[in-house]
Amino acid sequence: MPRIRSGTVIMQRVSAKEILSSYAEGQRNFSEIDAGEASLFEADLSNINLQGSNLAAAYLPYANLTHANLQSTQLQAAEMSNIQLYQADLAGADLQKANLSRANLRHANLQGANLAGADLSGADLYNADLTEANLSSADLSRTNLDKAKLQSAQLTGCNLYRAQQANLEQAYIDRTTIFPDGHRGSHSE
């Protein structure tokens, strides 16, 4: 779908209606498209490939993107509450200030993703890979972090109040991090 001009990729602007129509016809590859601010409320787009696409400020509550390829996708300030991202690949995705509250991110790949300032409150991150993810100033209150991989994840200023099963041993934390017990600072467990 992307157009090439002098070796530079130019993203093709695609509307939500075009995505839904093409998806219904069996198309799954929508890599490197520009669908910023698209309204895809409750859209069923499982197994879609949106790698490298722009979905900044998209409206995706209750959407189903199970097994989706969202590697390096731009999702800054996207509204994604209650979204299904089970086993989705979000490696290197930019989710700064995105709303992922109550999202299903079980078994999702978020390696190196930028989730700075994102709202993940009440999200299910069971067995999610957050290795080297930037979660600075993110809200992870009441999240399920059972078996989540947080190696070298940036958690400065992060709110983990009442997060379940958080293993923070290999994550970067500081005095501004709010721990699951509500206390601040780098304390030993």
Mean pLDDT of 144-148: 98
User: In the prediction, which pLDDT does 10 show?
Assistant: 82
Tokens of 100: 């992922």
Q: Which one-letter amino acid corresponds to residue 118?
A: A
Nearest C-alpha neighbor of 102 from the set 74, 82, 125: 82
Mean pLDDT of 39-56: 98
- Three-state SS letters, 48-73: CECCCCECCCCECCCCECCCCECCCC
* pLDDT tens column, 78-108: 999 999 999 999 999 999 999 999 999 999 9
Buried (b) or exposed (e) across 109-130, using 16+ Cβ within 10 A?
bbbbbbbbbbbbbbbbbbbbbb
pLDDT at 5 over 70: no
**Pairwise pLDDT comparison (35 vs 186), residue with the higher score:** 35
Q: Which domains does the chain have, with CATH numbers?
A: 1-189 (2.160.20.80)
Report the distance separating Cα 136 and Cα 112, nearest Å. Answer: 13
User: In the prediction, which pLDDT does 7 show?
Assistant: 52
User: In the prediction, which pLDDT does 185 show?
Assistant: 73
Of the pLDDT bands very low, low, confident and very high (cuts 50, 70, 90), residue 76 is: very high
Kindly report the length of the chain.
189
User: In the prediction, which pLDDT does 23 show?
Assistant: 98
For residue 25, count other CB atoms closer than 10 A to its CB. 7
Of the pLDDT bands very low, low, confident and very high (cuts 50, 70, 90), residue 189 is: very low
Of the pLDDT bands very low, low, confident and very high (cuts 50, 70, 90), residue 186 is: low
**Pairwise pLDDT comparison (188 vs 72), residue with the higher score:** 72
The answer to whether the pTM exceeds 0.75 is yes
pLDDT at 4 over 90: no
Q: Which one-letter amino acid corresponds to residue 84?
A: Q
Nearest C-alpha neighbor of 58 from the set 98, 93, 28, 31: 98
